[in-house]
Structure formats: structure tokens, C-alpha cells
Structure 1
Amino acid sequence: MQLPETLAGWLSLLEARHGQAIQLGLDRIRQVRDALNLPQTCPVFTVGGTNGKGSTCALLESVLLAAGYRVGLYTSPHLLRYNERVRIAGHEVDDQVLVEAFAEVERARGETPLTYFEHGTLAAWVAFCRAGLEAIILEVGLGGRLDAVNVFEPDCAIVTSVALDHMEFLGNDREAIGFEKAGIFRAGKPAICSDPLPPASLLAHAEAIGARLLVSGRDFGFAGDQQQWAFWLAGGARRGGLAYPALRGTNQLLNASAVMAACELVRDILPVPMQAIRQGFMLVDLPGRFQVLPGRPSVILDVAHNPQAAGVLNENLASMGFFPETWAVIGMLADKDVPGVIRLLRDRVDHWLVATLPGPRGLSAGRLAGILREAGVSVDISEFGSPNAAYQAARDRAAEGDRIVVFGSFLTVADVLAAAGTSK
């Protein structure tokens, strides 16, 4: 078979090749990993959780870069470009790096089938192994125990939060989901949980395998006022006078304190000075996580797509001060808890602009509007064929002092972010 010569060609091939986008299990990817024969040569951090994974990865990457390390970061999904998923030394890799990595995985896999995500995960690993890295950060795609990144051995594993999402794959309650997410922990290795109320299953699994588990609020934590905050580690370090991370949102101290705990636990193999932590937190950037665009009216982009994330978004909106009216641009996938998300933000919004999302999982604007009404929304609801169309309508209708909040899915934010990048 003639292998594609462009990134677009590879992505089209991988999308067409495997009919099932999500197929949990490690046997296939482990076989191809072994065939690649690219051993780990530097410390690996694996980050899982329902919400907060992307922010935690971004904070950790920024801190390690500020400490002078050459860092690889693998995340998903992307917003605008596939290259966002694979970063080396703080920059997205170029197309040719990915083309060569996809081809190397293709040659190694033989007759072993791989999903789009599995092939991409191994390609990222190939790129990292060719780049002379000093640290690697891997974000779990879904769950943990059976996710593709779990074929690599973490020196430190972080679970950010445990909430109800992807229940068709992970189980119907927090206990089942917590067990799946705890699957990234390793015997004798540092394990961090930044969820202050972790399921008993997560705690039990960590104890059963002998992981060195630290839980937020029990073994480490934070305190602060409006100007600064402090980190504490039970029986260990206390760091005060910290500036708030550049990422906006009331929950970012949970993520930042988990990163600080991780740095404390791996300092023997990857020392990070306090100045690098301060600098890393100040310089961190992550699109789509309570991202406020410049100008008026205020525009907030947030990929919140489950009730836990919607609750955090609601708190963040409440902390912003007074706006005469709030305009919500929302598009969601059908397999999400749409009523749960709407209930948490219902009283925060004055106008709903609902958008159809593409693909078989995307909800139509009509169905989404119906769910809003079923959830008791009685204010203005308008329907649009795309998030960008809804966003442009919001821009036209909102007054200068109002705010527009775009949320519900990565797809929703991506469509608006692409438009916002080319228009005022």
C-alpha cells in the first residue's frame, strides 16, 4: 500500500480505516509498542481524570519548560489542528514529524488493527523518542486503565477529578469510574489525586497495588486570598506568596497544587526549583478553558460538556462581576448529560443561541432547544445551523456591556475559535 505523504492524508486514512472510534483495551497497542522497540528513556507523567486534565498538563508542561527541561506533551482532543496534540519543547510539531511517525507505526503494526487514537498515541511516542526529551507528559484520552497511554509506565500519575461522563464505557457511578481512572497508578510510584472527595474504589486500588498516593485536602492542599495563595504538603514543604496561575477559573488551584505535589514527589529524578514553578504558572496558556477573548462584549470560551465542568463554569461566571445580559452559545453531543449541564447554568443565562453539531453524535439545534424547554428554560431560545452562526448572531445582538459564553463541546469552541481568529 502506498503510504500517505501528507498529514491530511494520514488523518483521512485513519478515520476511514477503523469503524469504531473508541475500542478500549491494551492488547493491540501493546503489540505494536513492542514491535516499535522504543524504550522509555526519561521520566513520564500520566494525567487522567474527568475534568481538569488539559489544564493540569498545561501547567505541568509550563513548569518543566521553565525549569529548563526538554518536554514532550501529548494531549487530546485538539481544537483547530491535529498538531496541537503533540508538542515538543513547548511547540506543536510540524506536519512532517507526524507523517514520519505515522508511517513508522504503520510499518510496525503489521496486521494488528489500531484505532485512530491508538495509532496517534504511538505516533506521538515515536516523535518523542526521536526528540531527545528529558520529560514526557501523557494525557489519558478516556478512563485510564484501558486507555492507550496506559501502555507506557508513568513515574508519576495524576487523577484530576472523578465525575460522571463516558458512562457507557466506564460504568454508571463514581465508584466504577474511579476504579478505571486509578488504573494509571503504579506500584511504588507517586500517585496524585486532586479530587478532594475521591471514590473509595480509587483509594482502595492505590492501597492494593502499593502506590504512593497523595490526595488533595488530606496530604497536600492550598489556601489563599484575592492576592496570592500558598501550597502545603503534609509533613513537608509549605510554599507561600504564590501568584495565581495565568489560567482563569476558581478550580485552577486544585490543578496547580497537584502539579506542585507532583514536583515534590519526583524531585530526586527531576528537580524543579521554586522559581520555575512561579514562572511556569505565570506563563501557562491553554485555549478553550475559561478563555476570555479581548474586546467587548466579553466573550468566554469553555469546553465544559458535563455537569461537573458546567458547575465550575457557573462558579467562574458568578465571580466575573456584573453584566446586564448573558448570551449563551451552546452545542452539545447527544451522549452527554445535556439536561444536567443546562440545569447548572439555566439561571445564569438570559438568551440561548443553540447550534447543531456535525457528525452522528452531534445534537441538532431543534433537539437541543427542546431539551432546554424540558429543563424549564423560559427565556429567549434561537436555533442555528452551526456554533459559528450562533456566535455571529450573539455578536450582533449583544450590547457592549454584555457577555457571550460559548460552551458545550470541544467542537463548539473550536468552530467559534476558528471564526474569532479571523474576525473582529
Structure 2
Amino acid sequence: MNNISYLLALESRGIKMGLNRTKKLLNSCKNPEKNLKCIQIAGTNGKGSVASMLSHTLKGLGLKVGLYTSPHLVNVNERIRINGHPIKNKDLEDLIKKHRKKIELNEASFFEAITLIAFSYFKLNNTDIAILETGLGGRYDSVTACSPELVVFTPISMDHKEILGDTIEKIAIEKSGIIKFQTPIFSSKQRNTVQDILIKKSKDNDCYISFCNYDDDIKLKYLKGKHQNENAQLVYDVLSFLYNNKKNIILKELEKTKWPGRYQVIKKNPYIIFDVGHNEDGINVFLNQYEKESIKGKKYIIIVLQNRKSIINQVKRIEKLFDFIICSETENKYSMDSKVLSNNFLKSKSKVIKNVENAIQTINEKLDLNDSLVIIGSHYLGNSIQRVYKKSFDSL
């Protein structure tokens, strides 16, 4: 088994919450996270988009920028980037080989191991700053072993209830765990209960805290939707705080950010869109934007979800907006059974095509130039999108 295959095989160990094992692993590998200048991002939706915006804009300011995000769309290399370019296979192989014994000794999970690899890669390459997306929650997430210059919160909502808690308050407390003593905090606008939790945590840790007021009109060239504009305004607040004398350059670079799988237009005629929105809020903001489109022909949607995800409050809206609903599955072992998914929708409007590539090919053959196809619901759609449409997600 080569080293990359070994790393991917660690996913079978599942999620291991808790920071102690991560800290022990990092310590045994000479603490690559130490003195790593970084920004940590937590939240429910929008973390990846905000991370990409920060990375792209800081690169435009002339910095060497590390970017660590999850999950990936096709290749695990996508998770670790410098100036938008994914880590090369050789560099990834070398770092896994270097730390493999320690990974085994500490019985590390996949996410703990790849977080170690990211820290090591950024340290080895002397990045000026690294943008680090929290994987799950915050308090016990491996990324929280870092010492950030500041922390950023995207909107916090209900997701991963089985791990983080069954109320918005419990989830917010878990995510607020990334806050560290006297570390500035920048946040999207939050619901009142979440905002109160973040404010209390900031006072307990003597932190400056700022909530985005969305005063700036930022026109993004490639990312669509009100939610992306709000993400951009949050990023503008963060970078204006760090580089107050470079606001014009910040704005210019920010507007050019690309991030695959976020209302990504695969084809214009017919109009085919790929989106990784995978929970109720994610699909809600997608639909908010899609409703503005002027589609003259038929509207198709292929939807997949992971187990335990619920979009019950969006079902009627999807049924009203689309002419045909196709429920499908990805190759991922946690993909929701397509028949179970189809039970959410009216039988007269929905159809099951179990294999998602078959679903895409079947609908592609039906599409006229004025029709539209939406493919939505999971990052794990990336492989199928790449194979069917020959799209690469490597360069940003």
C-alpha cells in the first residue's frame, strides 16, 4: 500500500473527537503548528468559500498563502494548497512517509493525520500565513491545536446534531471552542442565541469581537448568491482589519475569487449547475439564487444526500421549482439510500436512479438547449462531475 492509499485508509477509523490525541501526535512530530501564522475559520455553511476568498485575496497582496479545507471533491490533494495549487503527490507521499510511524503509534484518525500533514507542509514551505478551515465543530477539532492570529465564524446553524448536539445553543458552544485568549474574532451576522454565546465567550477570553454589518457592496465575478456576497463582506472586514492601508487591492482581488462546487456553472446551454449544498441551510441559499434564474425550458434536479441529513423544510419548495426530481446516490458509503430520499417527494414528481452517473447521463440525453439541470447535495458528487463533464477542480 503506498502512502497516499494508507492515508485514505485511515478514514475507516472514523471520527475521533478530542484534542489530546492531536496534540500528542503533533508533539511527537516536533510541533509543526508552532509559530505558524494562521487564521482559523469555523461555522456551519460557507467556511470553504470564506477560506478560499481569504486565500485568494492574500495571495493578491503578494503573500505566500497556505489553504487547508475539507472535504475534497476528487483528490485528497485539494485539501492542502499553497497559493491555490494543491500539494503534489510526491510532497504528500514524502510527508506521510516521514510521519507514518508516529501516526500509527498515536492511532490517529484520517483527519488528525491530514491536519498534521497540512501543518508540516506549510511549515516546510515557509508560508506567510495559512487559512485553516475547522473540520467539525471547533472545541475538539484537530485544527484547533493551532494558535491563530484571529478567528472567523461563518453562519452557525443546525448540522451534525448526532455529534455536536441537538440544539443550536449546544452547537454554537462547540464551535465557539476555537476562541483563544485575546484573539480577535470576526463573525457573520448570527441568530441572537448564537451571537450571545460568541459575545460571552469573547468576554471570558478578553477578545475583540466584530459582527459583519454588510455595509459594503462587493460584486463577485464568479461566485453567485446573496450568501456569497455576505461571505465576501466578512472577508473584507477581516482583511481591512489586518491590512487597513490596502483596502482597494483587497476589494479588487476579493472580487476575482473562484471556489468549485458553489453554484458552479458546468455548461450554459443547456444550463447545468453543480452545488455541494448538503444541508437545509445550504440548499436554501442555493434555491434563493436559482429562483432568480430565467429558465425557459424544463427544470431538472438530481439530488443526493448523506445519511442523517434532512431537508424536510425545503421539499415543497423543490417540488414547486423543478419539473423533475431525480433521487440518487454517490459511491460514498454514507450516501443516503435513494429510495429513502425519494420518500420525501411526491411520487408524481420524483424518480429514483440509484447510480448518480447514470442519472446524469440519462438526464443529459433529455436536455434541450433551454432546459436546466441542477446536481446538488454532496461534495462526493465531485468524482462523477469530473468523469461526466471532464472538469478539473485542481487550480483555483
TM-score of the two chains, using structure 2 as the length reference: 0.92
How far does residue 17 in structure 1 lie from its aligned partner after superposition? Answer: 4.6
- Asked if the contact 2:74/2:382 (under 8 Å) is kept, the reply is no
Q: Which residue matches 1:265? A: 241
How far does residue 245 in structure 1 lie from its aligned partner after superposition? Answer: 4.7
How far does residue 266 in structure 1 lie from its aligned partner after superposition? Answer: 2.4
Give the whole-Å Cα distance in 1 for the aligned partners of 2:16 and 2:51: 24
What amino acid is aligned across from residue 88 of structure 2 in structure 1? Answer: D
Q: Report percent identity of matched pairs.
A: 25
How far does residue 274 in structure 1 lie from its aligned partner after superposition? Answer: 2.3
Q: Which residue matches 1:238? A: none
How far does residue 351 in structure 1 lie from its aligned partner after superposition? Answer: 0.2
How far does residue 142 in structure 1 lie from its aligned partner after superposition? Answer: 0.7
3-state secondary structure, aligned to 1:285: coil
Q: Which residue matches 2:117? A: 123
Q: Which residue matches 1:304? A: 277
Unaligned runs of 5+ in 2: none
- Please say if 1:370 is aligned against 2:343: yes
Give the whole-Å Cα distance in 2 for the aligned partners of 1:104 and 1:195: 42
Q: Which residue matches 1:279? A: 252
Give the whole-Å Cα distance in 1 for the aligned partners of 2:334 and 2:104: 31
Q: Which residue matches 1:250? A: 226
- Asked if the contact 2:236/2:251 (under 8 Å) is kept, the reply is no
Partner of residue 325 from structure 2, selected from 326, 345, 352: 352
Q: Which residue matches 2:381? A: 412
What amino acid is aligned across from residue 286 of structure 1 in structure 2? Answer: W
- Asked if the contact 1:310/1:345 (under 8 Å) is kept, the reply is no
- Please say if 1:99 is aligned against 2:93: yes
Partner of residue 151 from structure 2, selected from 134, 148, 157: 157
Q: Which residue matches 1:14? A: 7
Residue by residue, what CA displacement relative to the aligned partner does 1:103-123 show, whole Å, maximum 9, x if unpaired?
A: 222244462110011101101
Determine which structure has greater relative contact order: mean sequence separation of CA pairs < 8 Å that are 6+ residues apart, divided by chain length. 2
TM-score of the two chains, using structure 1 as the length reference: 0.86
- Asked if the contact 1:194/1:216 (under 8 Å) is kept, the reply is yes
Partner of residue 211 from structure 1, selected from 201, 207, 213: 207
In the superposition, relative to structure 1, how do residues 341 and 143 fare at CA in structure 2: closer, same or farther (>3 Å)?
Answer: farther
How far does residue 94 in structure 1 lie from its aligned partner after superposition? Answer: 0.4
How far does residue 328 in structure 1 lie from its aligned partner after superposition? Answer: 0.3
- Please say if 1:386 is aligned against 2:355: yes
Give the whole-Å Cα distance in 2 for the aligned partners of 1:84 and 1:390: 26
Give the whole-Å Cα distance in 1 for the aligned partners of 2:257 and 2:292: 21
- Please say if 1:396 is aligned against 2:390: no
Give the whole-Å Cα distance in 1 for the aligned partners of 2:363 and 2:176: 42
Superposition RMSD on alpha carbons, in Å? 2.1
How far does residue 148 in structure 1 lie from its aligned partner after superposition? Answer: 0.8
In the superposition, relative to structure 1, how do residues 68 and 155 fare at CA in structure 2: closer, same or farther (>3 Å)?
Answer: same
- Asked if the contact 1:353/1:394 (under 8 Å) is kept, the reply is no
How far does residue 413 in structure 1 lie from its aligned partner after superposition? Answer: 4.3
Give the whole-Å Cα distance in 2 for the aligned partners of 1:272 and 1:243: 21
What amino acid is aligned across from residue 206 of structure 1 in structure 2? Answer: S
Give the whole-Å Cα distance in 1 for the aligned partners of 2:26 and 2:144: 11
Residue by residue, what CA displacement relative to the aligned partner does 1:167-190 show, whole Å, maximum 9, x if unpaired?
A: 111011111111111111222111
Give the whole-Å Cα distance in 1 for the aligned partners of 2:115 and 2:166: 27
Partner of residue 73 from structure 1, selected from 61, 67, 88: 67
Partner of residue 170 from structure 2, selected from 151, 167, 176: 176
What amino acid is aligned across from residue 134 of structure 1 in structure 2? Answer: D
In the superposition, relative to structure 1, how do residues 39 and 142 fare at CA in structure 2: closer, same or farther (>3 Å)?
Answer: closer
In the superposition, relative to structure 1, how do residues 339 and 357 fare at CA in structure 2: closer, same or farther (>3 Å)?
Answer: farther
How far does residue 323 in structure 1 lie from its aligned partner after superposition? Answer: 3.4
- Please say if 1:43 is aligned against 2:12: no
In the superposition, relative to structure 1, how do residues 197 and 33 fare at CA in structure 2: closer, same or farther (>3 Å)?
Answer: same
Give the whole-Å Cα distance in 1 for the aligned partners of 2:322 and 2:104: 53
In the superposition, relative to structure 1, how do residues 182 and 297 fare at CA in structure 2: closer, same or farther (>3 Å)?
Answer: same
Give the whole-Å Cα distance in 2 for the aligned partners of 1:35 and 1:136: 22
3-state secondary structure, aligned to 1:222: coil
Count residues in correspondence: 389
